Amino acid sequence: MTALNDAKSEAAGMPSHVRDDLEKRLVRKIDLRLSVIVLLCAMSNIDKANISTARLAGFEEDLHLQGSQYATILSIVYVGFIVVQVPANMFLYWLERPAILIPCSMVMWGFISALTGMAQNYNEILIARLLLGFAEAPFSPGTMYLISGWYKRDELAMRATIINCGSVLSSGLGTLFSSGILAGMQGVLGQASWRWLFYIEGGLTVIVAIFAMFILPSFPHNTRWLTPEERSLAISRLADDGYGRMDGPGKQTTVQGLRDALSDWKVWWFTVAFIVHHIALSYGMYLPTLVATMGYDRTVTLLLTSPPSVLGIIGAFAFSRLSDHTHKRSIYIFASIAFTALGFIVAICTTNTVARYASMFLMALSAAGQMVLWAWIKNTFTREPAKRAVAIAMISGVSALGSIAGSYIWPLNWGPAYRSSYIICFAALGMFTAMLGVMHLHLKRVNEQIERKERNAQNIDDLQYPVGYRYLV
C-alpha cells in the first residue's frame, strides 16, 4: 500500500470531530514553523534593495558611477534569477529538503551582500551584484513551492500573504533600520555609512539563516517533527483537496515536470504577464529616489517610505482573507490593479507634494493583488507537484526580465516628475490586466467543462479531475 493510501486509511478511520480538532492543531503547528519565512523574506528583500538606500548616502559618488551604470547594477541581480531559478526548484523537488537548501542559499547571499560593502569601483560592485542574484535565486520559488506543499487551496492566499509580507514589511521597516545605520555609522573605522549598511545587513542574514535550518520544515511525508497521525492527516487533506502526490510510486520525475511545464501554455501566459507586471511595478526599486523628489532630507525621506508599505501590508491581509473566504482570486487582483492605476494617474497629472505622496499609498496596494496572484498561480498547478515546482520557478525567474527592463525606465534626467516613467508603468499595467482577464475567462470555461463531465460521467474513474475539483478564479 502506498504512503498516500496509508494516510487516507488512517485519516478515514478518525471520527469527524477528532479529525477536525487534529487538523486545526496541525495547521497551527505548520503556521508556527513556516512563520519564520516572514523574517527570511524580509532579509531577502533588504539585501536585494539596500543598494537603493545606499544611493542616498554617497554610493554613486564614492564608486564614480556614471550614466546608466546604476541601473545596470540594480538590474544585474536578476540575471541570476533567470538562469538559476528553474534548475534550483527542480533540484529542490528531487532533493525534497527545502529546510536545507533554503538556509544554505541564505548563507551564501548573506556573505556576498556583506562583501559588497568592500567594492571600490563599478566592476567590483557589478560582479558582487551578479553573484548575489545567483545565490539568492533559489529562495523565492523555493519558499513558494514549500508553502504550496502544506496548505489547501483555500488556505494559500492568506498564508502566502503572511509569509511574503516580510518583503513588503522590509520595504518600510527596513528603511527605518537602514536610516539608523546611515545616520550613526558614517566614518566608523574610516568606512562610509553605506558600506556599513552592507556589512551589517549581510551579517544579519547569515545569522538568521543558521537559525532557520533548525526551524523550517521540509514536506509532510519527510518532516520528522510530525507525529504519525499528523503526517497521515497532512498528506490526506491535501490529496482530498486535489493535490498531486509528492512521494511514492506515482511521483513524477523532474524531467517530466519540466516537460509538462514547458508544454503548458498557461505557464507561458503567466510568465509573460509577470514580465509586464514587473515593468509596471518597477517604481518600487526607486521608491527612496521618488520620495526624495519631494525635497526632504535623507532621514525624513527614508521615514516617509514606510507608511505606504504598511498600508500595502494591511491591504494584502484584507484581500487575501477575503480571497480565501470567497474562493475567488481574480476580482481581488483587479481591485488592486484599479488602486495602482489610480496612483499612476495622480503621479502623471500633478507634481503637488501631497498628491504625489498620496499616489504612493495607492501604488502600495499593488502588494495586495500580488499576494493573491501568487496564490492563484499555485492553485492553477496544484495537481502536478513536479510541474508546479518548475512552473513557479519559471514564472518567478523568467519574469525577472521585466525587472531588468524596469530598471532603465527611471533615468535621472526624467525626474523629478518622472511622468514618462509613470506612463510606461500605466501602459504595462493595462496589458497585464488584459492578460489576466483572458486567463480568468479560460479557467472559468474549463470549470464549466468539468461540471458537465461530472454530470454526464457513468464511472468516477473516467473523470480527469477529482469530484468537486474546480480551478479558483
Joined grid coordinates for residue 274: 509577470
Lowest average pLDDT, out of 203-207, 235-239, 267-271, 333-337, goes to 235-239
The pLDDT-based confidence of 1 (bands split at 50, 70, 90) is very low
Residue 47, pLDDT score = 79
C-alpha 360/C-alpha 343 separation (Å) is: 6
DSSP state letters, 14-36: S-HHHHHHHHHHHHHHHHHHHTH
Look at residues 200, 182, 175 and name the one whose alpha carbon lies nearest to residue 113: 200
DSSP helix/strand/coil, 192: coil
The pLDDT-based confidence of 44 (bands split at 50, 70, 90) is confident
Q: Which amino acid is at 368?
A: A
43: pLDDT strictly greater than 80: yes
5: pLDDT strictly greater than 60: no
Torsion of CA 447, 448, 449, 452, to 10 degrees: 120
* H or E element at residue 450: helix 419-456
DSSP annotation of 300 reads H
263: pLDDT strictly greater than 80: yes
DSSP annotation of 188 reads G
C-alpha 121/C-alpha 356 separation (Å) is: 35
HSE, CB side, 13 Å, CA atoms: give it for residue 363: 27
Q: What is the pLDDT of residues 375-432, one digit of tens each?
A: 888 888 877 788 888 999 999 889 989 988 998 999 888 988 899 999 999 999 999 9
What Rg do the C-alpha atoms of the chain give, in angstroms?
23
DSSP annotation of 189 reads G
HSE, CB side, 13 Å, CA atoms: give it for residue 141: 31
Cβ pair 235, 13 in contact under 8 A: no
Residue 159, pLDDT score = 82
Look at residues 154, 174, 449, 469 and name the one whose alpha carbon lies nearest to residue 327: 154
112: pLDDT strictly greater than 90: yes
C-alpha 3/C-alpha 141 separation (Å) is: 26
- On the 0-12 / 13-18 / 19+ scale of CB atoms within 10 A, 191 is middle
> Prior bond to 416 cis, omega within 30?
yes
Look at residues 180, 63, 171 and name the one whose alpha carbon lies nearest to residue 126: 63
Cβ pair 415, 87 in contact under 8 A: no
Alpha carbon distances (Å) from 227 to 99, 223, 233, 382: 18, 9, 10, 25
Provide mean pLDDT across the span 324-330: 86
Would you mind telling me the total number of residues written for the chain in this entry? Answer: 473
DSSP helix/strand/coil, 202: helix
Q: Where are the domains of the chain?
A: 36-224+252-456
Cβ pair 245, 85 in contact under 8 A: no
C-alpha 333/C-alpha 323 separation (Å) is: 9
Of 93-107, 280-294, 313-327, which one has max mean pLDDT? 93-107
Residue 14, pLDDT score = 61
- CATH architecture of the domain with residue range 36-224+252-456: Up-down Bundle (1.20)
247: pLDDT strictly greater than 90: no
226: pLDDT strictly greater than 60: yes
